Structure formats: structure tokens, C-alpha cells
DNA sequence: CTGTTAGCGCGTTCAT
DNA sequence: ATGAACGCGCTAACAG
């Protein structure tokens, strides 16, 4: 393998010392025009590019950022990573990307792996941003990180997110304004998503504000298939009146729930309205287009990297930054049908 | 920052030399039970983890793989990266992920960046796998890589893909079998995707075999929005009969085209059938569910990594490996409506 | 079985 | 303006 082209190779060809080569390449220190010319010629000829490893070992820091997310196959995370990658590249950094596959227990292992790679900092989306030993460890180790999507309630942790509770409230209000009363919140497992929890909280608040009774969340695995989701819905509807609206804790789940509803022979939105969160772009393409909370997903990734660099430069704040969200009504939401059923979900508390 | 815990710190605490620590950690060479115990205790106490940088500098290789793809926001690539990441992690490797944003000119720059990071190898999806200076460079530099999705026609390049031409033929036949004759192929820019080109080739072959005339591809930017796609379709249909079926070169484009068709007041599939390629999972959730060519996307990523490690170990073959695809009919394909229009697209050549 | 030592590729003093 | 020498964290070869 013809690959031993090091700084020494260049120095030899340019007829100078490695120090001069280093100075020319990094623009540090003085160098005669003549020497610089010869060095640049040699560099071009050899196609030399300094090894990041050698550089890192010396400077004790890398141009590498670590990324930890639950999964790449959820467009939401993929899109935030796209933003992270673009912004990192702008700053001459590369990304080490890892996924927990929704197993919070793997967070620590992945972080350790990335730390062993001497990453300059981390961008993460974790299951629980408040009570999290892994983040505690990063804090004490002094390794900078910024959370994305997570919304830590106690301060001291840098995060870029939207106000999830407020978005849940906004979305729920849209349904209430359209006359819905029997609104069910369908969520992914709370244990693996603080977003889901907070969005439910917003839902519950909006319901209470409207004098309606918030139903308990229907918690299910959002990665399961349509058939499983259908079974879950049918099981629930067997013991209580069918809701007129389903608010799902994310768009992928909403698409699956909508499919399950159709499988049950019901129409979306005429019989049941369905909505999600995240604003994945595919939601605009499907029919009926998905009612959702639009989020600047890619921008969130970019902002996270910007703030990470601020933290690295010790000019950053460890605070939660909220980016604006926007209600996208779409076609999967309709006015509530004539309300006939009376039952737990429909009980007016006022 | 309390972060100077090196192999020396451990040696000091364990009361031995750094060599012993290294031997214990790597399981290389002998070590007394007593020494090993003390070392392990110190390692646990300090939370020591050897720096990959130091190790790499010495061994001249890393446990890092580079990934170059067009974009993370296309579920197809995201899903293959998910497979790549999982398989790499199994082998104790991490991933440096970069995206060209569909700009082939950026391939070289990204590869250089990754090579400067001394990646052990690369997994890539490029615009043109045959005439590609960047790949030539990797070949001469002796840096192992495996292509995913790309299907190099001339040999000498390792790739994991499906038979794109065959899949195009299979999908087109399905339409012909359902009585379609006016079938239009809608493709992303050929210049940025050999898959698109090869799928069109399969389409053209199937048409010819059936005695039908293959229409020229309608080439458009698959990242454009629905409105732009609608304009493109309307412009074309203004000068020639409306086709009864649209075969799109990938699923994301197919979803957008289906939306555009609906915007035009036509029904899918009653008025026009629509199909795509790739088998993205969301295609199963939408209504009508998407007719597509199912591909083992994630598996392709995993296989690519397996083969990359074979190449690194010099036991691998630089050949194209085809994984099986499967026609998924879905609901977006229907029997051809009564054929009334006669025009360029409908001309029978037989 | 263990400690000492020589680099790996680079940036950075310190002399010159 | 330039070069020699050192050390970053680690592994491996060798000496003991």
C-alpha cells in the first residue's frame, strides 16, 4: 500500500525540516517565500494531508463531534443529524454517529466509546435528560454536550428544543376548537421519551382548560406494525366509546395509527381525526396530509452544533433554548362528528 | 477539567509500569494474577479507557469507518446507515458519517477528510461508480471501500446492491400485466444516480419486450416540492396523452408525484397508477399504500460492512454482490382504465 | 512475569 | 527564517 506519505516525506522533497512544513501548513510562524513555495509544491505533488491523528495526539483535541440518537430510521432524528453534519462541516469538523436503538441502557456505553475517541463534544438525544447518570458523568468529566429534542426541566444542561408541552396544548386546542371532546392521546413509551411525556402534559392541560377530562395515555410501541396498533385500538374501543380524535406523540406513530384506523374500516378524518408531532416532510405528501406540529428539525441540529462550539470555547450557556413550532393543520383533522357517545372519554367535568 | 487520566495514571495507582497496564487491557502477553487484579482495580476506580488516538498513532490504523452518502434525509440512505452503524458497532468500530447533499463534486473533498482521519475503510454511495476519479484515487491509494446501492458495470469495485435493471423490468412488467401501455418513467436526475439510469433501462427493456414503445424519461429534481412536480406533469400532459401509469425512480419521488397527481384532480390508482423503488417503510403506512420494489436496505448496509472487513483483512473480493429484491404491489397500482388515447406514449411498435 | 524504551505523525518550544 | 529535539498516549520489542 503506497500510503506512507507523512510530513517527513514532504520535508524531504521540499528540502527542509518538518518544522517548516508544519509552519507553512498551519500558517503559524514565519517562513520564507521561497521555502513556502517549495513546500506547497511538494504538498501538491504528494497529495499530502496531515494526519488528524498525529495532530490530535499533540493538541489533545480533535475536530470530531460525537452524536448519540435513538435511531437513524426515524426521519426526525435523521433530519437533525443532517443539520448537525452540515453545521459541523462548516466548522471543519466531522461526526461520529451512534444510535441506541431506543435502549437507554446503551447511552453510557456509546458515550464512553465516543469519549475514548476524544471527541471535542457531543450532541445527544437521550431518553431522560433530567435523571441521567451518563449526563452526570459528562458534567463531572467536563465534556461539553448539547441535547436536541430533550427538554431538561432542571437547568444546568444545554439543550435545543421546542416547548413540547406548549405544542401539545396548541395541537389539542385545535381539536377542541373544531368541536372535539373525546380526544385520546396515543404515545410511545414514556420511559424512552421525555418529549412524549411533555406533549401529553400539554394535552392534559388543554383538556382541563376546556373543561374536558383528559384520558389516560394509550401507551404503545411506536415501532410495532400497523396490525399491532390496530389490535391496541380495538381492545381499547371495546371497553369505552370510540374517540373522535387521536393525538399521537410523533408523526411516524400517527401515520401508523391512521393506517390502523383505516384498516378498522373508519375514515380519516371523517370518522376519526388523527394528528402527530414533528412535522416530518413526508407528512405533507400523504393523503390526507398529516395534521402535525411543525418543528425546525434541521435547524435544531444546526443550533445545537453552534452552541456546542460556544460551550467548547467556554462562551456558551448551559440553558434550554426553545425554537418556535408551528401548527400545521393538514387534512387529517376535521370538525368533530355529531357527538353521540357518552362514556369515560366524553365526560364533561365542568 | 479533570481529564488527564492516562495509562500512566493507572500504572502509578496500580504500582506497575505502563507496559503491564497495556498488556492487561489488551490481553496480550503475560501478567501475574496479582498485577492484573491491581490494574483492573485501578482502571475501574479511575474509569480509565485507553485513548483511541494514542492507540491509532501506534498501530497506524483506527477502529473507524467512513461513510459517504448523498443525504441523510432520504429514508433509504438513513436506513442503510443504520445497518452500517449496527454492524460496525458489532465489530467494535464507529462511524464517521458525511453527506454530499447530492453534489458529486463534494465526494472527493469528503473522502479526503475521512482519509485524513485514517479511517480503516469506507462505505459509500456515489453518483457515478464507473467513471469516478475519487474511487480511482482510493484504488491507487489502496484504501478499501464498498459501494452501497451503486452498481458498477465494469468490475474491480466492491459493491452491495440489488439488480436495478431487473427490478425496473419486474416493476414495469407488473404494470403491463395489468393492461397498462402508456407507462411513463419519472426519474431523478440521471447524473446524480446510476440507480435511476439502470431502473430506466429495465423499464425500457420490459416495454420493448412487450412490444410497447418506451417513452423518454421525465427527468426532474426529486427534492423539489409537489407544486413543481405538478407543473412538470401538466406541462408534459399538455402535449401528449396522459399516461395511465407513472413509474418513479424512487419512493420519495413517487410519494410526491402521487400528491401532485391528486392535486391535479386525478385519483390514484383509479385514474393513474403510481409506483416507486426502494421499499421505504412509510410506503406501507400511506393510503393508498405504495407499489414499490422492496429492497433489504438495512441488510445492504450490514453486508457492506462485512465485506469491507473482508477487504481490510485482504480476504475479500472486489465484486458486485446482488441482494434479492421483491415486488410489493400495494394499493397504488390498479388495472389500466379503458385505453382511449392514442399518441406517442401509446403507440404500439409491434 | 515485568520494566524500559523506541517510535507512530504531528505541533511546538528553543536554539541557531 | 529555520532546524533539532521533545512529547502527546499508546503498543510492541526487548532486556531483565
Give me A256's grid cell. Answer: 401508523
Measure in Å the smallest separation between the Cα of B349 and chain A Cα atoms: 36
- Whether B2 has its CB under 8 Å from any CB of chain A: the answer is yes
Query: All domains of chain A, ordered by start, with CATH?
Result: 7-50 (1.10.260.40), 59-162+297-324 (3.40.50.2300), 164-296+328-349 (3.40.50.2300)
| Chain A residues 190-249 within an 8 A CB cutoff of chain B | 226
Q: H or E element: which one contains A78? A: helix A75-90
pLDDT at A163: 98
- C-beta atoms of B85 and A96 within 8 A: no
Residue-wise pLDDT tens digits, A176-231: 999 999 999 999 877 778 999 999 999 999 999 999 999 999 999 878 899 999 99
Measure in Å the smallest separation between the Cα of B249 and chain A Cα atoms: 17
The stretch A88-104 carries a mean pLDDT of: 96
The residue ranking higher by pLDDT, A189 or B253, is B253
In angstroms, the CA A11 to CA A21 distance is 6
pLDDT at A173: 98
SS in 3 state form for chain B? CCCCCCHHHHHHHHCCCHHHHHHHHHCCCCCCHHHHHHHHHHHHHHCCCCCHHHHHHHHCCCCEEEEEECCCCCHHHHHHHHHHHHHHHHCCCEEEEEECCCCCCHHHHHHHHHHHCCCCEEEECCCCCCCCHHHHHHHHHCCCEEEECCCCCCCCCCEEECCHHHHHHHHHHHHHHCCCCCEEEEECCHHHCHHHHHHHHHHHHHHHHCCECCCCCEECCCCCCHHHHHHHHHHHHCCCCCCCEEEECCHHHHHHHHHHHHHCCCCCCCCCEEECCECCHHHHCCCCCCEEEECCHHHHHHHHHHHHHHHHCCCCCCCEEECCCEEECCCCCCCCCCCCCCCHHHCECC
In angstroms, the CA B17 to CA A187 distance is 54
Q: Is the peptide bond prior to A269 cis by the omega test (within 30 degrees of 0)?
A: yes
DSSP sequence for A128-151: -SSS-HHHHHHHHHT--EEEES--
Q: Which of these, B10, B6, B148, lies nearest to B84 by C-alpha position?
A: B148
CA–C1' span, A305 to C15, in Å? 42
Angle A164-177/A194-209 helices, nearest 10 degrees? 40
| Chain A residues 148-187 within an 8 A CB cutoff of chain B | none
pLDDT at B160: 98
pLDDT at A62 over 80: yes
Residue-wise pLDDT tens digits, A251-301: 999 999 999 999 999 999 999 999 999 999 999 999 999 999 999 999 999
Residue-wise pLDDT tens digits, A122-148: 999 999 999 999 999 999 999 999 999
Amino acid at each position: 500500500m503506497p500510503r506512507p506519505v507523512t510530513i517527513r516525506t514532504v520535508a524531504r522533497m521540499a528540502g527542509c525540516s518538518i518544522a517548516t512544513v508544519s509552519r507553512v501548513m498551519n500558517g503559524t510562524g514565519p517562513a520564507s517565500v521561497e521555502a513556502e513555495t517549495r513546500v506547497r509544491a511538494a504538498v501538491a505533488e504528494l497529495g499530502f494531508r496531515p494526519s488528524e491523528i498525529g495532530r490530535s495526539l499533540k493538541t489533545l483535541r480533535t475536530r470530531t463531534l460525537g452524536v448519540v440518537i435513538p435511531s437513524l430510521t426515524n426521519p426526525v432524528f435523521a433530519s437533525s443529524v443532517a443539520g448537525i453534519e452540515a453545521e459541523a462541516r462548516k466548522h471543519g469538523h466531522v461526526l461520529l454517529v451512534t444510535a441506541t436503538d431506543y435502549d437507554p441502557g446503551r447511552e453510557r456505553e456509546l458515550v464512553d466509546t465516543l469519549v475514548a475517541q476524544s471527541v471535542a463534544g457531543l450532541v445527544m438525544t437521550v431518553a431522560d435528560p433530567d435523571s441521567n447518570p451518563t449526563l452526570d458523568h459528562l458534567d463531572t468529566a467536563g465534556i461539553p454536550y448539547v441535547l436536541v429534542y430533550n427538554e431538561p426541566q432542571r437547568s444546568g444542561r444545554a439543550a435545543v428544543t421546542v416547548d413540547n408541552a406548549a405544542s401539545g396544548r396548541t395541537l389539542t386546542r385545535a381539536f377542541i376548537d373544531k368541536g372535539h371532546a373525546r380526544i385520546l392521546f396515543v404515545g410511545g413509551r414514556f420511559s424512552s421519551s421525555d418529549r412524549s411525556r411533555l406533549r401529553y402534559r400539554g394535552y392534559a392541560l388543554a383538556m382541563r382548560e376546556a373543561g374536558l377530562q383528559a384520558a389516560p395515555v394509550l401507551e404503545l410501541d411506536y415501532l410495532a406494525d400497523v396490525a399491532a396498533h390496530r389490535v391496541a385500538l380495538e381492545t381499547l374501543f371495546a371497553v369505552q366509546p370510540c374517540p373522535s380524535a387521536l393525538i399521537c406523540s410523533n408523526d411516524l406513530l400517527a401515520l401508523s395509527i391512521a393506517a390502523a384506523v383505516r384498516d378498522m374500516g373508519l375514515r380519516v378524518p371523517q370518522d376519526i381525526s388523527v394528528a402527530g408531532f414533528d412535522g416530518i416532510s413526508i407528512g405533507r405528501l400523504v393523503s390526507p396530509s398529516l395534521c402535525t406540529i411543525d418543528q425546525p428539525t434541521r435547524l435544531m441540529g444546526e443550533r445545537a452544533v453552534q452552541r456546542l462550539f460556544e460551550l467548547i470555547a467556554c462562551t456558551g450557556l448551559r440553558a434550554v433554548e426553545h425554537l418556535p413550532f408551528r401548527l400545521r393543520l393538514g387534512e387529517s383533522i376535521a370538525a368533530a362528528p355529531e357527538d353521540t357517545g357518552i362514556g369515560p372519554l366524553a365526560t364533561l367535568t365542568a
